[in-house]
Amino acid sequence: MASLNSISIFSTTLIIIIISLLTNSTESLLCTNKPLIFNFGDSNSDTGGLVAGLGYSVASPYGRTFFGKPTGRLSDGRLIIDFLCQSVKAKFLPPYLESLGSTFSNGANFAVVGSSTLPKFVPFALNVQLMQFLHFKSRSDELFAAGSQNMISNDRFQRALYIIDIGQNDIADAFAKKYSYAQVIKRIPSVLAEIKNAIMTLHDHGGRKFWVHNTGPLGCLPQKLWLVQPTTTQLDPNGCISTYNTAASLFNEGLRHLCTQLRSELKDSTIIYVDIYSIKYDLIANANKYGFSSPLTACCGFGGPPYNYNINVTCSHGAAQACAQGSKFISWDGIHLTEAANSIVAAKILSQEYSTPRLPFDFFCH
């Protein structure tokens, strides 16, 4: 059996290799136009929207690995969206609601923790994020026409990349409300309809390049496992809740079909569907290969094995503590990934292997 030191060295070495691969990817992605990205989503891609919008406090040890302080991201460091921005030499996306210090020269992030597609017209549902974008674009158009050189021109809005990364909370909330499996599945078409409406609306306002992430394996989150306390018969071979993952997979299949349908309807657009589920589930199923231990255990939490999660004592609150080496864990706080896991997911996204059609991430800035 390998010693703890050798495992630690292996884990650290693997992360260095992944970061190096991301750096090499950054060097190979050569945009001929200045990258402009607009992101719509939930906590998986929120770079500070919750803090800016509601003043909610995200305290230490969040942000400890890369930023050295909390930034509103629900991770110990960078998110997938951060790595994707770095791959095209773009600055990290500022939250749309951050009023101080933001120039929005390379885009804006409308994602906010807890967001879903339904119900509509509540902070910060997908349609609310969309309305915020339309206001942002309208004001930019006005100021640009008035002679402001710092605003985004209309042709840049047309060349921009529009990322959609939402849906996880719709499924999770339905299960949390004790809906039956059949009731959860019945809601999926309504969720997909909201995503379709968002893409169609963005297209109506000039958007032509879309990057759509499916949702991850919900049943593998330590939070869900702690809340459900599933029996052995409810678990798949990797210890995840089968029904939760099946529901996520059905949503993903519907989203894949939606992207195919939109490609035929919007022939002047490029719509990339990215299989995040397969990437994340592979991390769980083959954790040792990536240098991770205890794939279903949170690094920052309370209660110890098997999940180190307690909804009453969450990361950065009360007696919750963070592990010494986040690079050995997939889950940071029971719901969100560590920077180490995010870096691997991002590298796999950039490989094009999980994209349909297979285009490099920088396709939008040529």
What are the two backbone dihedrals, phi and then psi, of residue 37, each rounded to the nearest 5 degrees?
A: -130, 135
Choice among 46, 170, 333, 362 that is catalytic: 333
Burial class (CB in 10 A: 0-12, 13-18, 19+), 78: buried
**Local structure of 226: helix, strand or coil:** helix
DSSP per-residue codes, 177-190: TT--HHHHHHHHHH
Which helix (H) or strand (E) segment holds residue 274: the answer is strand 270-274
Q: Does 362 participate in catalysis according to the annotation?
A: no
Cis peptide before 295 (omega within 30 of 0): no
Q: Does 331 participate in catalysis according to the annotation?
A: no
Phi/psi zone of residue 54: left (φ > 0), alpha (ψ -120 to 50 degrees), beta? alpha
Tokens representing residue 309 in the block: 């999660």
Distances (CA, A) of 13 to 66, 100, 227: 17, 38, 34
- Tell me if 309 sits within 8 A of 223, measured CB to CB: yes
| Residue with the two structure tokens 């569907």 | 273
Q: What is the β-pairing status of strands 270-274 and 209-213?
A: parallel
Choice among 170, 236, 331, 336 that is catalytic: 336
Distances (CA, A) of 8 to 5, 15, 251, 288, 327: 5, 11, 37, 11, 9
Choice among 25, 43, 140, 249 that is catalytic: 43
Tokens representing residue 55 in the block: 């003043």
Q: Does 336 participate in catalysis according to the annotation?
A: yes
Burial class (CB in 10 A: 0-12, 13-18, 19+), 355: buried
Catalytic residues: 43, 333, 336
